[in-house]
Amino acid sequence: MIPIKTNEEIEIQRKSSLLVGKTLAEVAKLIRPGFTTRELDRVADTFIHDHGAVPGFKGYGGFPAALCISVNDEVVHGIPGDRILKNGDIVSIDCGTLMNGFYGDSAYTFAVGDVNEELLKLLERTKESLYLAIEQTVSGKRIGDIGYAVQTYVEKFGYSVVRDLVGHGVGRNLHEKPEVPNYGRRGSGIKLKSGMVLAIEPMVNLGVKEVVQDKDGWTIRTADAKPSAHFEHNVVVRNGKADILSTFEDIEKVININ
């Protein structure tokens, strides 16, 4: 069964989702050459606790940190540590919070210092694909419409969509039904119903779609070692227009994107 949230539950979940955006904005203040990924994680962990929540990822399936921090060719699930951010890197930061029984889950890929135009375009277009997917997240549409929107947009630039990892429902559990692939056929898959809450998260590679897992059992990276970008929002299926629970506004004030 796919959970349908009441309006009251959705408003509770909105608070958790908005806290993720505020946390990522706090972390964004430190995203520049010279900082370690562990330092970013420490800031997020403290900030989440200070705001009455707990990190949604820490301890989930044994994951050891508050943030998944994935640099350059790392797609998702990178473990924070001693890696130092360097000028020209891109870094995907995925954050989860658990507050009042509901999860928020959102991700943003940042440019570190001076990043080349090719990578800036990858970031921009991956984020654009997320919003195209959200336009399809309305009652009466189908899961395949979401994936089709992402896939057809990014593939025209020569990028590829990761197939082995997908978005998902989110609510009282971090991962709920349904799965939300970033590829698909229009009109295929389950029909979307008002009150479903989805974590939509395009993972888009500059090169091939294939990925590999590191020996740490968590970090996923591209098979050809080319960079990957990742953006994620929590979205409520509604009649006519989707309702985005999470936000990038706080982040983009920090990094000066209008």
Distance CA(200)–CA(182), nearest Å, equals: 8
* Each residue's pLDDT tens digit, 2-37: 999 999 999 999 999 999 999 999 999 999 999 999
> DSSP string covering 47-63, please?
HHHHTT-EESSTTGGG-
CA angle in degrees (0–180, nearest 5) for 144-149-152: 110
Residue 256: band (very low, low, confident or very high) from pLDDT cuts 50, 70, 90: confident
Mean pLDDT, range 40-69, rounded to an integer? 98
Q: Kindly state the tokens that stand for 12.
A: 């509770």
Task: Report pLDDT digits (tens) over 115-161.
Answer: 999 999 999 999 999 999 999 999 999 999 999 999 999 999 999 99
Predicted TM-score of the model (pTM): 0.98
pLDDT digits (tens, 9 = 90+) for 163-212: 999 999 999 999 999 999 999 999 999 999 999 999 999 999 999 999 99
Query: From the CB of residue 178, how many other CB atoms can be counted at a distance below 10 Å?
Result: 16
Tokens for 249, please give them.
């506004």
The per-residue pLDDT for 258 is 56
Based on C-alpha coordinates, what's the Rg of the chain?
Answer: 17
Residues 6+ apart with CB under 8 A from 238: 138, 139, 194
Round the average pLDDT of the chain to a whole number and report it: 97
The string over 99-138, giving b where at least 16 C-beta atoms fall within 10 Å of a residue's C-beta and e elsewhere, is beebbbbbbbbbbbeebeeebeebbebbbebbbbbbebbb
Q: How confident is the model at residue 58 (pLDDT cuts 50, 70, 90)?
A: very high
Local structure of residue 138 (DSSP, 8 states): B
Give the mean pLDDT of 51-68: 98
All domains of the chain, ordered by start, with CATH?
Answer: 7-254 (3.90.230.10)
For strands 54-55 and 90-99, give the pairing.
Answer: antiparallel
